[in-house]
Amino acid sequence: MTRLVSGVVLALVAVAAIVWLPLVALRVLAAAVAAAAGLEYAGAAGVSRDLSRALIVVMAAITCWWFGMPAFASVAVVTAVVLAWLAVEVLLFGHDITRAAVAVVGAAYVGGPLGLLVAIHARTGWKVTLLLIATVVVSDTAQYYSGRAFGRRPLAPVVSPKKTIEGAIGGLVAAALFMAIAGGRILVGEAPVPLAVLGLSMAAVGICGDLFESSLKRRAGLKDSSSLIPGHGGVLDRIDALLFATPLFYLFLRDLP
């Protein structure tokens, strides 16, 4: 029951924010989500030092803020910041390169996609943004129910024992159908076949995102990334598939007329 109530509340808040919040407020909200997800990532990735955790949280928020402004997020600046940060981790904190990379990757992993989500909103408005999120939700839901109904063969027994191949197929099919139908109404002029391929690809990378996050937690020996959302675990548990699906969707939009 807790899970259902908090799920519905969460969905309503997210939809309301995307539909009604002005762009600046949405940017702040996305940066806050990135910061929370960054903290969970730091925990799951075994970053114990407070200063290092704080840096990941701050850089996740900054990355999100900045990727939401594609006019400024140039490749050269990204390169410079990544190198500077690696230098701080290795030379100042005395971390080895693996730990330094874990920190830098964290900011990119959570901050980048959430920033792109804001950029999608800025460019194409709330309907297209909701289309992205809805596709991921449809895929997740279809995976759950088709897995429960038909699931027999495990998909990734070590990382995520409950996931099945049948569930994954259900998610792929549902996302492809959903994107072909709903996407065709929202992205005017797009043919159903490319849209179906887009939906299918988003579901596929979404499953990868889900497994990626599961393996992060498994290594840290956690069940949920945190207990921030009652009945749902942490922020990262909610957005793991979205994080992977967003860049793909962004690239598809970028090439639209």
Partner 1 sequence: MPLDELLAWMPQGDPDAALARQVAYDRLPAHIAIIMDGNGRWAAQRHLPRVEGHRAGIEAVRDTVECAARLGIKVLTLYAFSVENWKRPKSEVSTLMMLLKRYLRSELSTLLRNDIRFGVIGRIEELAPDIQAELREAIARTASNRGMLFNIALNYGGRAEIVDAARRAIESGLRPEDLDETRFASFLYTAGQPDPDLMIRTSGEMRVSNYLLWQIAYAEIYVTDTLWPDFRRRHLIEAVLAYQKRERRYGGIPTPAAATSR
Question: Can you give the binding site for partner 1, defined by CB under 8 A?
Answer: 23, 68-72, 119, 122-124, 188-189, 256-257
Least distance from C-beta 133 to partner 1, angstroms? 19
Q: Which is nearer to partner 1, 88 or 122 (CB)?
A: 122
Least distance from C-beta 252 to partner 1, angstroms? 14
Least distance from C-beta 32 to partner 1, angstroms? 18
| Whole-number Cα distances in Å, 50 to 54, 55, 74, 137 | 6, 9, 30, 34
Q: Which is nearer to partner 1, 69 or 83 (CB)?
A: 69
Written as six digits, the tokens of 198 are 């887009």
Q: Which is nearer to partner 1, 130 or 138 (CB)?
A: 130
Helical ranges in 95-231 per DSSP H: 97-124, 126-150, 165-178, 184-186, 192-220
Least distance from C-beta 123 to partner 1, angstroms? 5
Written as six digits, the tokens of 151 are 């699931």
Q: Which is nearer to partner 1, 68 or 199 (CB)?
A: 68
Least distance from C-beta 69 to partner 1, angstroms? 3
Written as six digits, the tokens of 103 are 């920190």
Q: Which is nearer to partner 1, 24 or 92 (CB)?
A: 24
Longest dimension (CA), the chain: 54
